[in-house]
Amino acid sequence: MTEPEKEVTIYDIAKKLNISAATVSRGLKDHPGINKNTKKKILNAASEMGYRSNSFASSLRKKRSNIIGVIVPRLNSNFMSDVIAGIEKVVNDANYNLFISQSLEAMKKEVSNAKAMFNNRVDGLLVSLAYDTTNIEHFEAFINRGIPVIFFDRVQEHQQCPNIFIDNYKAAYNITTHLIEQGCKRIMHIGGSQLRNVYIGRFNGFKQALADHQIPFDESLLIINDLSAIAGIEAAKTILNMDLRPDAVFVANDTCAVSCMQVLKRAGVHIPDDIAFAGFNNDPATMVIEPNLTTIDYKGYEMGEVAAKILIGHLDKNDDLQQTHSLILRSELIVRESSLRKKA
C-alpha cells in the first residue's frame, strides 16, 4: 500500500523557489509589497505542487472561520430549497461558505447538529426549528460566545436572536374567511405541532375567522399530525368514516392537503362541490393536483436572502442585531379551483 502524499507547506514552496517562507506567505495572500513576477512564480509553484491553504489555522489566527451554519428541519421541500438558494446567494457574494444540516424534525438531532456547528467554529447560525423542539438551550453556547443566531420561518422568541417569518395568523384568517365566503360552514383544520409558531398561528387564525363569522369551533373538526403525505392519507380515511363530513378542509401545508385530496377523490368525493380544499406554501404540487389547490404563497428565496443579509451585516459591518428583532415578510392568498364553490 502506497503512503499518502505529505501535505505541501509554504516551506516546500520556499525551498523550490529559493526564497523565504515569509515571502511565499505574503505572495499567496496577494500582499501589495511583493513583486508581480515573484507573486506569479509563487502561485504557479503552489498550483503545480498541489498546495492547499490551511484555512483552519488561518481561522484560528483571525478568530474567523468564514463559515455560516444552517440547520433546517428537512431539505426535501420546495420552500426549504428556495430558502437555501436565497441564503447561498448572499453568503457566497460575501465570501462565506455554508455548512447545512438537517434535524429531520427531531430535537435530539438538532442538538447534535448545533454541537457540530459549534465545534466547527461557525461565525453565525441560521436556524428553522424541528417539529418537536421544546426549548432552545442548545443554542445558548453560541449566544454566550457572541456568535449570532437567527431563527427563520419556525422561530422561537429570544431576546438576542432575531426572528424572520410570515404572519401565519393573518394568512390562515384570510384563507378561512375565503372558505366561509364560499358558503362553507363545517370547516376542518388539519394542523401541525402546537409547539411551533407557524402551526399555532395558522390554527389561531382559523379559529378567529370562525368566531368572527359566528361559526362555533368544533373539536371533532380538528386533526393535529405531522403534515406528511402519509398523514394526509390517514386524515382522508378519518373524513370518509365521519357520519357528518366537513364541507371544507384547510390544511397547514400543501403536501398533506394534496395526498388527502387524492384519497378523497378516489373514494368519489367531488372537490370543491362536496368538500372545498385549501393548503399552505404554494408548492408546485398545488398546480399538478386536479382541481388546482388554493393556498398561501410566500417566498422562501426572499426569506433566505433576508436572514443571510441580517447575519452578514452583523458580521461584516457590526450592524446591531437587536434593530431587526422581528421581521414579518409578506404572504398572499392564491385562490384556485379547489375552493371555488361559488362560480363567478
Give percent above pLDDT 90 in the chain. Answer: 76
Q: What is the structure's pLDDT at 64? A: 73
CA 76, 82, 83, 89 dihedral sign is: positive
Query: Which of these, 132, 127, 176, lies nearest to 154 by C-alpha position?
Result: 127
Which cell numbers hold the place of 322?
437587536
The yes-or-no verdict on residue 61 having pLDDT over 60 is: no
Confidence of residue 324 (pLDDT cuts 50, 70, 90): low
Q: What is the structure's pLDDT at 59? A: 53
Q: What is the structure's pLDDT at 139? A: 95
Give percent above pLDDT 70 in the chain. Answer: 94
User: pLDDT averaged over the chain?
Assistant: 91
The yes-or-no verdict on residue 54 having pLDDT over 80 is: no
Rounded Cα distance, 272 and 293, in Å: 10
CATH class (in words) of the domain with range 10-53: mainly alpha
Rounded Cα distance, 215 and 208, in Å: 10
- pLDDT tens digits for range 71-116: 999 998 889 999 999 999 999 999 999 999 999 999 999 999 999 9
Q: What is the structure's pLDDT at 72? A: 97
DSSP 8-state assignment for residue 50: T
Task: Say which CATH superfamily domain 65-165+300-330 falls into.
Answer: Response regulator (3.40.50.2300)
- Entry pTM: 0.81
Q: What is the structure's pLDDT at 330? A: 93
Report DSSP letters for 142-154, one per residue. Answer: HHHTT--EEEESS
105, 74 contact by CB (below 8 A):
yes
- 10-53 matches 168-298+333-339 in fold: no
Higher pLDDT, 120 or 255: 255
What is the third-level CATH fold of 168-298+333-339?
Rossmann fold (3.40.50)
The CA R_g of the chain, rounded to the nearest whole Å, is 26
- pLDDT tens digits for range 135-179: 999 999 999 888 999 999 999 988 889 999 999 999 999 999 999
Q: Tell me whether residue 320 is exposed, middle or buried, using C-beta atoms within 10 angstroms of its C-beta: 0 to 12, 13 to 18, 19 or more.
A: exposed
Q: What is the structure's pLDDT at 322? A: 66
Which cell numbers hold the place of 56?
483552519
Domain boundaries in the chain? Answer: 10-53, 65-165+300-330, 168-298+333-339
Instruction: Determine how β-strand 187-191 pairs with β-strand 222-224.
Output: parallel
Rounded Cα distance, 157 and 77, in Å: 25
